[in-house]
Structure 1
Amino acid sequence: MTPSAKKTELYRLLGAPVKGGVLVIADHASNHVPEGIDLGIPAELMNQHIAIDIGVAEVAERMTGPGTAAWLAGISRLVCDLNRDIGMPGMFPAVSDGYAIPGNDIGDDGRAARVAEYFDPYHAALEDLLEEAAPALIVSLHSFTPGLATCDKPRPWEIGILYNEDDRAARIAIPLLQAEGLTVGDQEPYSGRILNASMNRHAERHGRAYLSIEIRQDQIADAAGQALWAERLGRLCVEVVARLG
């Protein structure tokens, strides 16, 4: 953790955000379940993709340095998926990749309480940071599984780039990644027109340039892969910022 790191239960801020720099945001960087919440699932599932984006926190930490800071969510996506809109299916998943999550059978009052406790303050603090720091580029960092348990079709992309209406940074990044010999998903394995809630809220709504990145988890499952991708994404961000002008 860098000397300027700030930590709460909701998030960790690594590095010093600077105007015109890069801010990496990882909404699914933690598998932490706050005290008082029992999801009712085996402990080993909390280390799997249903609870956390594997490898993302480590990549984001390695990207942190002069001009680049990282904002890492501090709670599991199973407690409250911070990359969703309020009321959107999957914000408090009852089932994830075939696994029942009985502790999310909490009714309207329970969902509203978690929104007030976790979702609202997380996004309010993030928006305050973005207004103060005014980064040139936001990087929304996620990872995806090589294949879901409920689907036997493997996913061939090492990395996917997602976007909704604002594809400025995506159009710069995709050919740069392809030039490195990577199989790059353009709106794969998901479409940013469907799953882009945090970037819609914090980037597109305000005209802030962003890259929404999904890395296949086997690429960043160990320290060597995490270091490789942190270096690669660091170079990519420098080039994207330069071309955005």
Structure 2
Amino acid sequence: MHRLLLIADHASNHVPADVDLGIDPALLDQHVAIDIGVGPLGRLLCERLPMDGIFGPVSRLVIDLNREEDAPGLIPVESDGHKIAGNARLDADAKATRVERFWRPYHRAIADRIAADRPDLIVSLHSFTPRLASRPEEARPWQVGVLYNRDDRAAVIGLEALRDAGVIAGDNEPYSGKLLNATMNLHAEANGIPYLGLEVRQDLIGDAAGVADWADRLAPVIARVGAAFA
């Protein structure tokens, strides 16, 4: 049996009570705060395959767990046209405290999990908005994107499996893993572990029926990719 590990950096919109983002709370249900649908989809995939899962515990507006520790956008001050006023007020010490509180424990936990039981394949699960408010002219027709940086071993198999299943799949779309791949760079590529980076379009997994449908579609794809590295 091949060992699979799912990592979902942006599965939560949780903001701790002592963190003041200075935003309209309604934003927490939008794509700027959470990868819509990823939490329920990831958990259902973990049940079906079976597969272990690590789910990011806080909103990406608190800290973006899929950024390098020194990346400029790690604690965002703006997202898709929305100002994150509370983050803009943070001084260097407050930023360092937030990194120590959220980013480092999350990535230590992933590193410890991999060291204790090295997976044959890591699945990185995200979702993307069909249309960015800041770039409304940009079409995003893909149902699922496959992201990768230097290591494309699993991506090649995953793209073939998705297309065989009739899925409209994007190759390093809607953005490139060569530019944004921090968690997989740190924990998969650095360890020589194959990984399948999946970006599912949010409008497809925005309710329970969509989540169930895409779990049905993606579980065989993940299993096929995993079997190639068992």
Moved over 3 A (4+): none
Partner of 1:9: none
* Gap regions ≥5 residues in structure 2: none
The correspondence for 2:106, drawn from 122, 134, 152, is 122
| Partner AA of 2:91 in structure 1 | G
Residue 23 of structure 1, CA deviation: 1.0
Measured in 2, the distance between the counterparts of 1:97 and 1:134 equals: 36
Alignment of 1:231 onto 2:216: yes
Alignment of 1:144 onto 2:137: no
* 1:162-213 C-alpha deviation (Å, 9 max, x unpaired): 0011000000010111122221110100100110000000000000111111
Partner of 1:215: 200
* 1:112-160 C-alpha deviation (Å, 9 max, x unpaired): 1111111011100111011112111110000000000011123100010
TM-score normalised by length of structure 1? 0.90
The structure, 1 or 2, with the larger RCO (C-alpha pairs under 8 Å, 6+ apart) is 2
Alignment of 1:23 onto 2:5: yes
Partner of 2:163: 178
* 1:59-117 C-alpha deviation (Å, 9 max, x unpaired): 01101236411111110000010000022122111110000000102121111111111
Q: Aligned residues: percent identity?
A: 49
| Partner AA of 2:92 in structure 1 | D
Measured in 1, the distance between the counterparts of 2:107 and 2:163 equals: 33
Partner of 1:77: 60
Measured in 1, the distance between the counterparts of 2:97 and 2:2 equals: 36
Computed over aligned residues only, the root mean square deviation of the Cα atoms, in angstroms, reads: 1.2
Measured in 1, the distance between the counterparts of 2:203 and 2:181 equals: 23
| Partner AA of 2:103 in structure 1 | F
Partner of 1:13: none
| Partner AA of 1:107 in structure 2 | D
* Mapping 1:39-78, distance limit 5 Å: 39-65=21-47, 67-78=50-61
Give the total of aligned pairs.
227
The correspondence for 2:20, drawn from 30, 35, 38, is 38
What is the SS of the residue equivalent to 1:198? helix
What is the SS of the residue equivalent to 1:64? helix
